Structure 1
Amino acid sequence: MINWFMEQTISLSVVCMVLLVSHRLLLSKLGAHYTYFMWIIVPVFVFADVLQILLPSMFNGFSSNNTSILMHQYYVFATDTVALSAGLFDQLYLPYLYGIVVTVIVANIVMEYGWLQQLIQRGRQLDIPSVKLNVLVHPDIESPMLAGIITPSILVPTSFTLLDESQQQAILQHEVYHYQRGDVWSNILAYGLTVLFWFNPLMWLAYRRFRQDQELSCDAQVTARMEAHSKIAYSNTLLAYSQHAPLGMLHTHYGDKTILKERILQMKKQHGKSTLVLIGMTLAIGVSAFMFNQQVHAGGQVSIANTTSDMALPVIRIEPTYPVNAAKEGVNGYVQMSFDINPTGNVDNVNVIKASPKGVFDTSAVEALKQWKYQPSATGFKDLQVQLDYVIHQPEKSVERITVK
């Protein structure tokens, strides 16, 4: 699991960095709509990897083979740094730390949901026949927002009633477009991925840029057919409601002061959008994500010489943990194991055939092998064998060794 997080962190860091660095170019060449749509790359990369783990037969099938095959051999290296890292991991209980941070973030989301529900319940209903959503006036907010999940409402500040009808309609169209496009659910997905990889600062930067591009895209939609004087009025409304406020996951944020200038300038550069182009971009991104993840998994496969193409090779290989005491004492060794692969590609019936020194590396090897993932097949594989060599330096002659044939 930790290895998967690390692999995804590297991949997502590259994707987010490319999108962030090229953002200005994308915005100028593609426009707000397509630039916002480009952020679909982030969840697609993650889902593509998950699908290849859960449904690998969709991409690479293995023919059935129930016969015993040659033993594979893998090396588990340990250096002083690795030993120290293992010790720190045990001492700091990083999985618990990860869980605590996620719990705190989720608790904050629950509090935000409660706050929004209170705003909705205490809001004063406005009768606007042209808008199907509930429009509520509330004195405790400073900027219009679309709030809620299942049945969202549009919340507006009391100053909203002082605007002329065209300005009111522009704001309401902005929030309605958020609703029609499903931006609330997109925000939940984006924030969920950010929370999952909360330790990666690039994810937080990408999430903020994603939300800002969301507002730019809505501006482009609302002002696409506006005359110059209407755009000026819309810009003045943005200026009036601009504020510094944290991004909320469960509501949109109309008045984002951090990109006020960018929003006003972007309204001067209208770019159209096409459904066919969006579909084409989705397909291209999806295929690219699957190909990229296949390359990553293929790059992680290791096998000895004399293997043949019909052998089962792991698509996900969890690296065993080098026992801390063994690393400190400079102990080398190996563990030979037999195992089966069920039709879904999971490992079953792991047994230690031989180990040297006995009882030192057995637990680490078995726990790692149980988490390996293979390509699925019609009937699976039986009686496969693998050897894990635990090596800090070249093994001493006193350590019993075998030669894999």
Structure 2
Amino acid sequence: MSEELSLRGHRTIDEALLDDAPRLAANDPGGMLRATASAGAQVREAAALTAESNLAMLADEGRPRAVVIAGAGTAARTGDVLATVAGPRCPVPVLAHRSVGIPGWVGAADVVIAVSASGRSPEALGAAEAAARRGARLVAIGAPDSPLQSVAERARAPFIPVPRRAPARASIWALTVPVLLAARSIGLVKVNEADLAETAARLDADADRCRATAESFVNPAKGMALSLAGSIPVVWGSSSLAAMAARRFGDTLSANARYPVVTGALGEAGRGRVGLLDGVFGGLAGGADIFADPDETDSMLARLSVVLLQDGGLADDEISEAPEVEQRRIEAVQEICDRRGIRWTLLTAQGGSALERLASLVTIPDFASIYLGLAHGLDPMAVPAVTELKERLRA
């Protein structure tokens, strides 16, 4: 395999870079790989910081009518994680809210959890202020000594400080654990200390497998990055938990590697989106040989590549598909891809609790998105378009 893979006239992939740890470090000046490898430590630190916060006042009024997790980007994604871990048997609705303010129906019977890594996002600040005005129970999570902490203090609401050591997308576990523990205090989830410890250990183990010094042939994240190079990724999850991980992969592919991506639930894909595999980026693009030299094909189109995330957890007979149904759907999509010459990758969750299984589906894709960006010569820490947009909006 050549050291540089030409991508139909696009920027080349430097495959040799992925197996050169010193060059990887030099091309990652902001330390995104290091920040992502801290996920297990984030779980432990966030659990300790949450334990020091006074959540008793949150639980004193009993179970709320609904819970709203307010924020933007990764902060709002923590609400999706809570809804996923709580599952369909959650006794109250859980809503991830991504706009400034809060829904009109929110009032004194509800709980609002405002989340912002910087403690400055308009979405979290607006939600916290609106919750305080309407008498809703409020919890705020974010950077210490931030405007969000000030809002929480004025409202006499619990504030959980999360030191900001990396961009929000690399701090998802630092933000998620306080959300889960706040929800546990009002009886919405059954996340215990053993679950947190096992999740942290899983994150540590997967980070070690994906470390920069592990070569591509044994490093699952580098292998996934190479399989996605030059393609349009389609990421489907086999369950609600796996679909949540798929959406997370979409977030990191966009930010770290600047790749467009399609994400969703595999069951829903069968109602229409699987048709992508027959489109101009799928079976119609460049013939059926996925190993053909791009310079020898008439197509100037990128090909699709499919990533399948399989939950593998135990199903609830009343509310979840049986594992054998999930497996048949996975195998059917693999066969459809094979017939069309579309590359596919399968990642199966490991672990017992929902939180640990989710972690096992997040870590390798997180690292893969970083390696893919680095192989393109991009700094995954710096996203100029995001910075430019924020500056334009502030002007």
Task: Give the TM-score normalised by structure 1.
Answer: 0.22
Larger radius of gyration: 1
Task: Give the TM-score normalised by structure 2.
Answer: 0.22
Determine which structure has the larger helix proportion and give its number. 1
Indicate the structure whose relative CO is greater, using CA pairs within 8 Å and at least 6 residues apart. 1
